[in-house]
Structure 1
Amino acid sequence: MSIPLRTADFDYTLLPDLIAQAPVPERDRSRLLVLDRRTGALRHRIFRDLPNYLVPGDLLVVNEAKVLPARLVGQSERQHRVEVLLLGEVEADSSARHADASHWEALLKPSRQVRAGDRLSLAEGTIIAEVIEKRGEGRHLLKLVHDGRLIDLLWRFGQMPVPPYIKRQGLGSRVQGKKEKNPETHP
């Protein structure tokens, strides 16, 4: 049995001054919170101290996920500005598959002005997104039609998605030096 998740399930209050606006220059000096499970005591340490807390048999999981510049800006047929954040590719049924198209779940902003059947021009017209359906909580199913590989278009025209609580300037700007920044996902 699966329990449906809603974005509201993850809402909580965090003081703004506790939100890191940038990574520390020396990554091994990032903060580490250590919980002593026997006593319940919390200790504030730094990440380079982590080996001191590992014992034989422990499992360390490393997240090496890469972030794609999956935020695209464009306009609707009615000339409304629209932002699209691609969340994940969706397998289309066999009757809807085309070599030059893909289906994606996406967040649209402003979502109120977008209806099923609307066509959006994204990435300076290199990607046309057709809104297939609204799925609730701002999510939409899109059919993307594009010439060439979508990954290449994302690295050329996309912006890095930045959470609204990060206030630094320039983070959402287009990716520069794309091959140097992410050679594994963008050969």
Structure 2
Amino acid sequence: MHPPPALAVVGWSNSGKTTLLARLVPELRQRGLRVGVVKHSSHPHPLHPEGTDTARYAETGAALVAFATPAGVQLSFPEPPEHVLSLLARFADAVDLVLVEGWKHGPLPKLEVWREGLGPLLAASRPEVLAVVSESLLPEGPRRFSPDEVPGIAAFIQQCLRDGLLRAPEGP
């Protein structure tokens, strides 16, 4: 099974990635898309807090650990981040699109959220950046959206889906 179409939403810390995604997911859902979201971090983060039952299960080498509550189920797999695409392939029939927050150096097409003064514009050196979301005027390059243009960004993502631009490469 192939991974579902995916788009990485990248940018420097505090550029507005989470805020954009929190506004974009409902817009895409309203348009009929089933959207999955993955948070990618280059910093260590405990998936299971020390001393919890799930931490003990993870320490045993379980192939997956689930935490189920009335609010939902959280699954974790002891896989390195570069395997996320092959993991997502398992859920390809459950989502139409996966949005990945972060993963600047990953193999996915990208939507850059850029705020002046936080770091250089990634789109200037990365051809996989399809568009930039920014308040600032940018030099010539990929398409630019204002952070308030959520319907326009959603329409752009839908067009990229139709054009086959969001096909995820096969993972390891």
- Structure whose alpha-carbon radius of gyration is higher: 1
Q: Report which of the two has the higher share of strand.
A: 1
Assess same fold via TM > 0.5: no
